[in-house]
Structure 1
Amino acid sequence: MDRAQIVHDNFLRRVAANDLPPGSPPAPGLTAPEAVSLYRAQCLSRALDLTSRAMQKAGTGFYTIGSSGHEGMAAVAHALRPTDIAFLHYRDAAFQIARADQVPGQNIAWDMALSFACSSEDPTSGGRHKVLGSKELFIPPQTSTIASHLPKAVGAAFSLGLAKRNPPDHRSLPEDGIAMASFGDASLNHSTAQGALNTAGWTAVQHTPLPLLFVCEDNGIGISVKTPDGWVEASMRHRPGLEYFAASGLDLFETYAVARQAADYVRSRRRPAFLHLKTVRLYGHAGADMPTTYLSKAEVEADEANDPLLHSVRLLNDFGALSPDNALAIYQETLTRTNAIAAEAVKRPHLHTAADVMASLIPPEQNCTPTNGPDPQARAALFGADLKMAEEPQPMARQINLALHDLMLEHNEIVAMGEDVGRKGGVYGVTQKLQSRFGPDRVIDTLLDEQSILGLAIGLAHNGFVPIPEIQFLAYLHNAEDQLRGEAATLPFFSNGQFTNPMVVRIAGLGYQKGFGGHFHNDNSLAVLRDIPGLILACPSTGPDAAMMLRECVRLAREEHRVVVFLEPIALYPMRDLYAEKDAGWLAPYPAPDRRIGLGEIGQHGKGTDLAIVTYGNGHYLSRQAQKALSEQGIDTRVIDIRWLAPLPEDTILAAAADCKAVLIVDECRARGNLSEELMTLFASRSSVLADRLAAEMSFIATGPAYAATMPSADTIAAAAKALVERSK
């Protein structure tokens, strides 16, 4: 039978018969009107669950992961302020409903019905997904199912203390606010959750303010896999740096009392706490999931007998706030009203075209305080003798360092973070002297956890900062890339542009390192970044380009709220020579602070029409060497440096190669799943020019003398170019 119908029928029958589950008397803290209001929120949450299932059966609703059994979260919302940013578990409809009651002008039942119907008028996602969330309620929408929102909750909590010491122009969270993140007991076991909890504790034991309340909603099961009895408490009660609180989520009064105690602890101490809330899961996981296929009927019925709404009816009656008859009337009236609301919501318009769906991928621009570049006097004082040195030709690593100095001097809201970026100045020295000059609040040495580094950046962006996180090596991104794919890049999409995660992620990567090679420090694959919708991927190849492109990346994040990845070719960090030893052909002076290379602006070297070599990164450097060798053989070429790898500046690339007889694409990344495939498709579909490619082998990179054996070289580029020119005649 339909378990939702069984739970509904049980509620009607048991309340009418005054057959209510036993429990403790009401804990102090709530007034009678407050308790009744929270019960109404619980009823609405339950009614919406029932309505969503009816809508799905009718073909007018598209989401049925419900909150039934977790209605105690209404009391958690009441224990917090409506300005405390909340990152919610997907079973927390009751929390959002109760918070809506704290903010005038909300029409939460209508809003959520529009969301179930995926109407384009849904005020949260604009019809793109059923998500909890609201700009007015300080609830960023998300689709996290594995607690992947916890790292950014840590970042948001950290931002509260940071903003007090260094307020950004667009601070959105109150100084005395806290952050809250809720999740299920099964998600507690995920590495993302464990990393966030560890980071919170790691930060707290160093006495750094981190006002964050974790709420674990422990219903004892993750889809079909049980959580061992006592596991959550055993693993969390004695966690360093985290204060542990526990309550029964079935008891509205107890939940409020303990949640208020936990919230007060977090708010007054500015330290993280863990609220362990015991709940039940009713109906199964979602939709057609039948819990009796993996649980005994007795287990399912035991949870149903512990329906939190039944407990609320008893508690309200014991408190003298509401009789069972009146409680039953509220429940029935709420369900009738919700059905009527849903009947109207399904008539509202929907998204239809690709353009409709994609309209929120790119967030709206933000008005920023105008600047005229870093103040010359402050710049001279900051750089000291380094300013004179900057006038001399410098390698890429030094030019990025100078650009970071200028950008942080110009924009006070920029915060850099990552492993070893501060005291050490980065493993390659790229961030040297930044921490000593700007302080540890703006150049943050993090623990070794890429998920937490990116989560810190996302959370800071929620409070008006422009984060520049560093991932030490491209190969290290892969255990954390969901923070970009599933959290940062999706936020404007799922919030209809209301929430954004502006940031510039600096990643040292690609191949050709001679002395520090191997798979973990050389990674020549960009596939994981190139297919993230809305993400901008930049890759400079020269020092001046790196400085000018980094300035554009910061502008894109600061003014256009974009998520940008700035990929820095490690092997080109120290590069000085181009054709011969000590020719200094790859060096150039640091460009003036007001010079930028705009998004989509490519580089071109040479005007030859026999062949265009289209490339990027190390490929640009090697192609320039091949260009000289080809010239000596009478082959006149040009080298096109793409610079912006996603979105690919297609029209500009085609125009730059249009008058050439042939095009050779040089891709230092592996042949499968990388840029050369997209470029070959571009030239095949939109150009009549003969095109071919030279890419890296489908192999990991070796250490030692064979460090570059699997990738293009100047010699193989020249040979491939010569063969292609012969074919084009």
Structure 2
Amino acid sequence: MDRADIVHDNFLRRVAARDLPRGKPPAPGLTPTEAVSLYRAQCLSRALDRTSRAMQKAGTGFYTIGSSGHEGMAAVAHALRPDDIAFLHYRDAAFQIARAGQVPGQTIAWDMLLSFACSSEDPTSGGRHKVLGSKALMIPPQTSTIASHLPKAVGAAYSIGAARRHPPEHRALAQDAIAVCTFGDASLNHSTAQGAINTAGWTAYQSIPLPLLFVCEDNGIGISVPTPKGWVAASMQHRPGIKYFSADGLDLYETYAVACEAADWVRRRRKPAFLHLRMVRLYGHAGADVPTTYMSRAQVEADEANDPLLHSVRLLDQAGALPPDEALAIYRETCARTDRIAAEAVTRPHLKTTEEVVASLIPPKRPCRPTNGPEPEARAACFGADLKAQGEPQPMSRLINWALTDLMLEHGEIVCMGEDVGRKGGVYGVTQKLQARFGPDRVIDTLLDEQSILGLAIGLAHNGFIPVPEIQFLAYLHNAEDQIRGEAATLPFFSNGQFANPMVVRIAGLGYQRGFGGHFHNDNSLAVLRDIPGIIIACPSTGADAARMLRECVRLAREENRVVVFLEPIALYPMRDLHGAGDNGWMTTYPAPGERIALGEIGVHGAGRDLAIVTYGNGHYLSRQAQKVLADGHGVDARVIDLRWLAPLPEDALLEATKDCGAVLIVDECRRTGSQSEALMTLFAERSDLPAARVAAEDCFIATGPAYAAPLPSRDRIVAAALALAEGGK
């Protein structure tokens, strides 16, 4: 027999025979009405697990990681408020069901079964995934998380205190709310979990408010790998800055009592706590998993004998809340009702077309208060002597700094964060003076952990802030890329646009730093960003463009809920000259605060028709040098087109800007494999008759020392490729 059927039959038989497991008497705290309500939530969670398996066998359901053995989470939900934002483990159906009981008007069984059936009427994901989540219940949807939701839970908890000091326009969380995140014992060992827990303790150790409840659901095994006995307690009991609580998750009454104690501690003290719940896992990991292939039958049967529903029946009876025969009747009726609802849910419509599936990739816009830019008096007080300097040509780094200053003056909900961004002002000075101008609440020096930096940003965005996190170097993003790919970018998609976490991620990157850092500080690969659906990638190459584009990026985040990556070419930060020493040809003056470059607007330099050079970043700088050499020395009249926006690719604008040219040369400083040039070559092959070629970096890491630029495009390589292409065109 299937283990789910065995557990079901055991429950029916043992309750009828009053053969209930032993345990402590019920702890005080729950009224009889509350206890029965939580038991009903537990029964519905169990029934949904059984029904999901039946639906999968019938081909009408598509996901069977269930919550059986973790039904004690209903008590945790009851210990919290429904406006406490909850980032849930995938085994927490009982939590969501119990929370639905706290909010009038919910139809939780119907809603969850629509999700199991992947119906387009599913109120959470619109048929895109079986997820726990609900806008009405303040549960942002999660997919199959392996602790990746913990960093943003830390950020959400931080945002509650930050919103007290700087209330954002779109504030979502109450002043006295707390955040909760739940996860399994195996996930506790993931570097993401350890980073988030360390960040929470590091923050609380400095007496910074962080009202966060970690809940570890310890069933003793991660798929097939056992968790060493005592490991969770040993690793968490004495963590600095975090209070440890533990309870028997099989005991509904004890779980509620201890969860209330932990939640009250977090709410009153505004500090993080760790609630360790001992549980069992029933049925194996998922529908296709057979636990007896890696566990002894005796172990499996021992867990099944400890079924939390059996414990609940015993406790309810001992408390005088519900006799066993009535408990059994509730269980039978819940199973039958779930099957009836499922029979209707599987008939509801599904997503069918590409357009329907991708419709939620881009979140809906949100109404924002109009702003007229920073006030002149505020600008004068903030900039001081810098205000006069804005009329003189400056390098890119300084113009980005001034743009950030103006934006933070205009929008009080902008918060910058990252390693060294505050007191030091960034490794390259781009954020100098910002902390002095706006304070450490809005320019946050974080610990050295990119996952936590991006998690902080995602959590802040959940509470209405506009986060501007900085990743110090492009290569460092690889430590944390899933926070963008698996968390930030997927939230609108899996919530059908109901949740969004807008932000502008500033990343210093690309190559051409002279002899510094090798591949860690001269990383010339954007592949990890380019394939993330729904995000915007901006890459300026001049200071004036950087200021105007950064303003557009903030607008896109603030008004359109977008996740934007703003890639800043490090080598161009200090660049002054273009063609010769002292010509100051690459410096620009600071654009007036209201000026922006719209998403998709490209830059065209020159009107030459012999050749169009399509490029971005450092490639734009080199191509402008090559443009002069081609004209002066070879009579080739070229125009240089600066992409500016790398995703979504401004295809129509590019085709329009090149249609009257003889050929197209793509200059891409990233590696040939996985670079932007691949998409550009494809674009011109599919939608244009123009001859096209490319100059790209070699598939190689960048060396430190004199050979730093050897694998990268150069002015001379661009000239040679342009001449060959122009000659071939003729």
2:312 matched to 1:312? yes
2:491 counterpart residue number:
491
TM-superposed CA distance for 1:105, in Å, is 0.4
User: What does the per-residue CA deviation read over 1:451-504, in whole Å, with 9 as the maximum and x for residues that have no partner?
Assistant: 000000000000000000000000000010000000000000000000001000
Offset of 1:533 from its aligned partner? 0.4
Spell out the pairing of 1:526-565 with structure 2 (5 A cutoff). 526-565=526-565
In the alignment, is the contact (CA less than 8 A) between 1:517 and 1:707 conserved in 2?
Answer: no
Which string of whole-angstrom CA distances, capped at 9 and with x for unpartnered residues, describes residues 33-80 of structure 1? 000000000000000000000000111001100000000000000000
Structure 2 distance, partners of 1:441, 1:517, is 32
Q: How many Å separate the matches in 1 of 2:409 and 2:366?
A: 20
Task: Indicate the residue corresponding to 1:272 in structure 2.
Answer: 272
Aligned to 1:184: 184
Native 8 Å contact 2:515 2:706 kept in 1 = no
2:443 partner amino acid? V
Q: Are 2:725 and 1:724 aligned?
A: yes
Counterparts of 1:214-613 in structure 2 under 5 Å?
Answer: 214-613=214-613
1:437-458: CA deviation from partner (whole Å, max 9, x where unpaired): 1000000000000000000000
Q: Give the distance between the partners of 1:32 and 1:644, measured in 2 at CA.
A: 61
**Separation in structure 2 between the aligned mates of residue 398 and residue 443 of structure 1, nearest angstrom:** 17
Q: Is the 8 A contact 1:243 1:272 kept in 2?
A: yes
Matched AA of 1:290: V
Q: What does residue 64 of structure 2 align with? A: 64
1:650 aligned residue: 651
Match of 2:213 in 1: 213
Structure 1 residue 142, shift from structure 2 partner: 1.2
Q: 1:515 Cα shift?
A: 4.2
Q: How many Å separate the matches in 2 of 1:449 and 1:32? A: 47
Whether the 8 Å contact between 1:614 and 1:640 is mirrored in structure 2 is yes
Task: Structure 1: state its 5+ residue gaps.
Answer: none
| Residue matched to 2:696 | 695
Q: How far is the alpha carbon of 1:322 from its aligned partner?
A: 0.3
Q: Which moved more, 1:718-727 or 1:553-562?
A: 718-727
Q: Aligned partners of 1:501, 1:394: CA distance in 2, in Å?
A: 33
Displacement of 1:517? 2.9
Which secondary structure state, in structure 2, belongs to the residue aligned with residue 638 of structure 1? strand
Q: How many Å separate the matches in 1 of 2:314 and 2:559?
A: 54
> 1:716 is matched by which residue type in structure 2?
R
Alpha-carbon distance, 1:353 to partner:
0.4
Question: What is the aligned partner in structure 2 of residue 680 from structure 1?
Answer: 681
Shift of residue 381, structure 1, vs aligned partner:
1.0
Question: How far, CA to CA, are the matches of 1:28 and 1:701 in structure 2?
Answer: 65
Q: Distance in 2 between matches of 1:206 and 1:550?
A: 33
| Number of residue pairs matched by the alignment | 729
Q: Is the 8 A contact 1:185 1:227 kept in 2?
A: yes
| Gaps in structure 2 of 5+ consecutive residues | none
Q: Deviations over 1:82-124 (max 9, x none)?
A: 0000000000000000000000000000000000000000000
In structure 1, C-alpha distance between the alignment counterparts of 2:260 and 2:123, rounded to whole Å: 30
Match of 1:32 in 2: 32
Mapped partners of 1:174, 1:413: distance in 2: 16
Task: State the Cα distance separating 1:288 from its structure 2 match.
Answer: 1.5
Give the equivalent residue in structure 1 for 2:83.
83
Displacement of 1:268 after TM fit? 0.3
Report the aligned-residue RMSD.
0.5
Q: Deviations over 1:654-687 (max 9, x none)?
A: 1111111110000000000110000000000000
- Aligned 8 A contact 2:515 2:707 in 1: no
Distance 2:496 2:384 in 1: 46
SS of equivalent residue, structure 1 residue 681 = helix
Aligned-partner Cα distance in 2 for 1:291–1:391:
71
Identity of aligned residues (%): 81
- How far apart, CA to CA, are the structure 2 residues paired with 1:707 and 1:143? 42
Instruction: Give distance in 1, aligned partners of 2:555 and 2:166.
Output: 20
| TM-score, scaled to structure 1 | 1.00
Displacement of 1:722 after TM fit? 0.5
Question: Is the aligned partner of 1:54 residue 2:57?
Answer: no
Aligned partners of 2:506 and 2:566 also within 8 Å: yes
Q: CA deviation at 1:391?
A: 1.3
CA distances 1:258-294 after superposition (whole Å, capped 9, x unpaired): 0000000000000000000000000000011100000
Q: Distance in 2 between matches of 1:286 and 1:386?
A: 61
Residue 86 of structure 2 aligns to a residue whose secondary structure is strand
How far apart are the structure 1 equivalents of 2:363 and 2:30? Answer: 41
Provide the C-alpha distance between the structure 2 equivalents of 1:566 and 1:554, rounded to a whole number of angstroms.
10
Please list the CA deviations of residues 135-167 of structure 1 after superposition, one character each: whole Å capped at 9, or x if unmatched: 010000011421100000000000000000110
Counterpart amino acid of 2:390?
A: A
Q: Which residue of 2 aligns with 1:625?
A: 625
Q: Give, in whole Å, the separation in 1 of the partners of 2:662 and 2:519.
A: 37
Q: Is the 8 A contact 2:131 2:142 kept in 1?
A: yes
Q: Residue type of the partner of 2:422?
A: G
Match of 2:665?
664
Partner AA of 1:411 in structure 2: H
Which region of structure 1 is more displaced relative to structure 2, 651-660 or 515-524? 515-524
Q: Is 1:197 the counterpart of 2:189 in the alignment? A: no
The aligned amino acid for 1:107 is T
